[in-house]
Amino acid sequence: MDKQQIINQLSNMQADYKPNDNVLSQLEHISLIAVVGPTGAGKSTLVRRSGLPFVIGDTTRAPRDGEIQGRDYNFRSDIGNLVQEIQDGEFVQYVVQRGAEVYGTKASSYPPSGACAMSIVASALPQFRTLGFSTIIPVYIVPPNHTEWMKRISNHRDKDLEARLMEAKESLRVALADSSYVFIVNDELESAVVLLKAVVRGSIDQTASAKARVSANILYEHIQKVIR
């Protein structure tokens, strides 16, 4: 089979996928900080500066300009091996995006226990909540303001501005409707790092989160004017 046929096969398997028992047992000891936010919000930089173990995902797509193997993703061209690993239940989860590429995380990318962070899309959070993590705290990273965010994504390496706006609109819609999210505005990196570290300790600054939620709602209103 060629790559697209394999992708189609994995897409059909996706709804019924379950990790193996060893993986599920590992997840019981992990507290996941699920980091959500639009391209250009500074999610990866913030998490790395916080010192949290960062879960690196696997993907079948090719690296974009500036992306580094093992830092941004584990870029997988050995798709046959990837299929076998999925069939063996070695992945915590995976998704087929737009019917074209596979994204997922292997259990080996997570620590054996304790807290870690992973960048996910908002629509994937319900799936993660069924997997038996010790705890999951969703954190939405909000750009400083609409003007600064537009500068960032206009210069983003994949150049697909409309797709980035659509993704941001959907993630904001989902997060703003979910009271479990902690919101952090990444306007000053060190301050945002302090807030994220507090989340890990279980000491959430509710006042800062409420203000950041307001900023997120303003950003959502801006995007709605552009993307209907």
- What would the pLDDT profile of 69-128 be if each residue is shown by its tens digit? 998 899 999 999 999 999 999 999 998 887 788 999 999 999 999 999 998 888 889 989
* Residue 44 lies in domain: 3-226
pLDDT at residue 67 in the model: 86
Confidence of residue 2 (pLDDT cuts 50, 70, 90): confident
Tokens encoding 123: 């629509």
Amino acid occupying residue 62: A
Q: Which CATH number fits the domain that encloses residue 127? A: 3.40.50.300
Q: How far apart are CA 28 and CA 25, in angstroms?
A: 6
pLDDT at residue 159 in the model: 57
**What domain count does the chain have?**
1
Please state which of the ranges 33-47, 100-114, 153-167, 205-219 shows the lowest mean pLDDT. Answer: 153-167
More confident residue, 19 or 154: 19
